[in-house]
Structure 1
Amino acid sequence: MINQDWVGLAAGTLTTISFVPQVVQIWRTKHADDISTSMFVIFMTGVALWLLYGIYLDALPVIIANAITLLLAATILILKFHFHRNKS
């Protein structure tokens, strides 16, 4: 792996794992009312496009980071709807 791939993997790892504390917080508190649905939908669309871009370029760091980030962001939205529905 060349040096720029390591930089990409480090950047992707840090930005991706930044979502883990939010997922854990929502799971523990069973509360996600303060999460903006529109922000996460826009963000997930952007991440999906980055994932597609990474696939086009065959750039493994971009593919891995964005696939996992998309999964974590989707988890946050799913939990938001799940706990909101159960609260109602």
Structure 2
Amino acid sequence: MDVEIIGFVAALLTTSAFVPQVIKVWKSKSSKGVSISMYLVLLLGVFLWGVYGYLIGSTSIMVANTVTGFLQMMILFLIFKNKGKD
């Protein structure tokens, strides 16, 4: 069994964990209770994981962290867009 398959399954599961938050903030147009600092720190960590994945040549790490970073940037965008409306 190729270990990258395990990496892709793990990536799919952990990345998809952010989708419900994106949908909730998008539909409700409210980011009340969502921590900006948590998403900023997490985004930095995801960026560094992506760099690490690139350096070791792990496609699953690079793909997972690119998608996760995009979802986190969407949440941050919506938080700042909706700031003051909550």
TM-score interval for Structure 1 and Structure 2 normalised by the shorter chain: over 0.9
| Runs of 4+ off more than 4 Å | none
For residues 25 and 15 of structure 1, what CA distance do their matches in structure 2 show?
Answer: 18
In the TM superposition, what are the counterparts of 1:1-88 in structure 2 within 5 Å? 3-85=2-84, 87=85
Deviation at 1:9, TM superposition (A): 0.1
Secondary structure in 2 matching 1:56: helix
Deviation at 1:33, TM superposition (A): 2.0
Deviation at 1:84, TM superposition (A): 1.2
Secondary structure in 2 matching 1:61: helix
What is the RMSD of the two structures over their aligned residues, measured on CA atoms? 1.3
Q: Which amino acid is the alignment partner of residue 68 of structure 1?
A: V
Secondary structure in 1 matching 2:83: helix
Structure 1 segments unaligned to the other structure (5+ residues) = none
Taking structure 1 as the reference length, the TM-score comes to 0.92
Structure 2 segments unaligned to the other structure (5+ residues) = none
For residues 36 and 82 of structure 1, what CA distance do their matches in structure 2 show?
Answer: 14
CA deviations on 1:35-72 (whole Å, 9 max, x unpaired) are 11111111100000000000101100000000000000
- Give the share of equivalent positions with the same residue, in percent: 35
